[in-house]
Amino acid sequence: MPSPTSSAPLLPGATLGVLGGGQLGRMFCMAARNMGYRTVVLDPDGNSPAAEVADHHLQAGYTDADALSNMASMCDVITTEFENVPAESLKFLSTHKPVHPSAEAVAIVRHRIQEKDYARSSGLNPAPYALINAADDFDAAIAVTGLPGILKTTTLGYDGKGQQVINDKAQLDSAFSELGRVECVLEKKMNLAMEISVLLARNVEGKVACYPPAENEHVNGILHKSIVPARVDDALAEKARQQAIGLANKINYVGVLAVEFFITTDNQLVFNEMAPRPHNSGHYTMDASVVSQFEQQVRVICGLIPGDARLTSPVVMINLLGDLWPVNWEDCLIDPALKLHLYGKHEARPGRKMGHFNLLSADINQAIQAADKVFNKLEN
């Protein structure tokens, strides 16, 4: 009898389910539809960006038993667009249909200590870190990390939320209180020369397609810009790719995985965190890669081989946050090498990711200049 891991691939016409209806779910559904698949989105929000483009919207909470049963019966395979889906829901779904990535993989990735433990045991190099459950842990933690450090909640943090820089023990105490005295990790604050991320897709048979690293710039803790190829030397770029692939193999990951790294001022490669889904820093792949990260998600959850991750052009991606609204789109579209992607969100709020653009050029410096020029115009 064939094992579940060697079953025939799901081909166009099959129905793909996604937990979460934000922009990542939307772009996944659009890729799936382009390829002839049907899509089902589970999301409680009536105005979910993904539901707008899906074949079917199950509007319910992520633990709603009826909705989960419906999802399991409607879909041939199920994936997720965010890491905070309740583990029980993923486990329930996986008793009925294949779920990629698995509940176990998502559980590792959503927990900052577990992901660092896995990274370290796979030979990667996270910043020194220590668990903090109570004020009693402060001295031992500081002894491990030194100061300054960064205190982060072990789960539920994103876009720089749920973290604070720590310069002394008193500050650690007040930050821990402000974060609600929930389980936290204290890590050493590294001196960063650059941040990069490596995106890959891995299928059930362990076949991997890995993209070149993206160079990422954050503003106020939120990704602002990705530059690809990253302006790092080839050996370091290759080392980051090999480390990301090693980590995916170690956790037997199936799906699209993003791994964030720091490059320190003394040129060390430091593991930061990973995400069990397509990633904002991979949005450039929609226009500047043979196969985009969302097509990869479709391919690998369906048991197909990962697509070609080759870069077809140097590219700069810039996020469009709600702060820019209202936008004069002519200022954006005047550049003929700019590809605009908007997520159909009805309300613009500061810090809210409303869309992004990719700007392509044969020369990366020209792409950076042109992208900055458009962005500056939108800001004014």
- Judged by CB under 5 A, the stretch of 129-137, 234-242, 255-263, 339-347 that binds Mg ion is 255-263
Residue 120, interface with ligand ADP (CB under 6 A)? no
User: Is the CB of 83 or the CB of 260 nearer to Mg ion?
Assistant: 260
In angstroms, the Cα distances linking 31 to 27, 54, 308 are: 6, 11, 15
Position of minimal CB gap to ligand ADP: 190
Check if the beta carbon of residue 228 is closer than 8 Å to that of residue 198.
no
Q: Going by DSSP bridges, is the β-strand pair 338-342/56-58 parallel, antiparallel, or unpaired?
A: unpaired
Amino acid identity, position 117:
D
Residue 218, interface with ligand ADP (CB under 6 A)? yes
d(CA 336, CA 338): 6
Residue 159, interface with ligand ADP (CB under 6 A)? yes
Measured CA angle at 83 (ends 32, 193), to 5 deg = 100
Q: How far apart are CB 347 and ligand ADP at their closest, in Å?
A: 22
CB contact burial 262-274 (16+ within 10 A = b; e otherwise): bbeeeeebbbbbb
d(CA 208, CA 333): 35
- Of residues 341, 294, 355, 344, the one with CA closest to residue 39: 294
User: Is the CB of 187 or the CB of 295 nearer to ligand ADP?
Assistant: 187
User: Is the CB of 190 or the CB of 230 nearer to ligand ADP?
Assistant: 190
Among 43, 83, 187, 335, binds ligand ADP (CB under 6 A): 187
Q: Which tokens hold the place of 44?
A: 């409680």
End-to-end CA distance of the chain: 64
User: Is the CB of 216 or the CB of 361 nearer to ligand ADP?
Assistant: 216
Q: How far apart are CB 156 and ligand ADP at their closest, in Å?
A: 9
Among 272, 280, 281, 361, binds ligand ADP (CB under 6 A): 272
Alpha helices in the chain (DSSP H): 23-34, 65-74, 87-94, 103-109, 112-121, 138-145, 169-178, 234-250, 285-288, 293-301, 329-333, 364-379
Q: How far apart are CB 115 and ligand ADP at their closest, in Å?
A: 10
Number of residues that bind ligand ADP (CB under 6 A): 18
Q: How far apart are CB 128 and ligand ADP at their closest, in Å?
A: 9
Q: How far apart are CB 48 and Mg ion at their closest, in Å?
A: 23
Q: How far apart are CB 273 and Mg ion at their closest, in Å?
A: 5
Residue 335 backbone phi and psi in degrees, to 5: -80, 120
Residue 195, interface with ligand ADP (CB under 6 A)? yes
Q: Residue 148: which of ligand ADP, Mg ion, none does it interact with, CB under 5 to 8 A by kind? A: none
Among 35, 52, 137, 160, binds ligand ADP (CB under 6 A): 160
User: Is the CB of 15 or the CB of 197 nearer to Mg ion?
Assistant: 197
Binding site for ligand ADP (CB under 6 A): 127, 150, 152, 157-160, 187-190, 192, 195, 218, 221, 260, 272-273
Binding site for Mg ion (CB under 5 A): 260
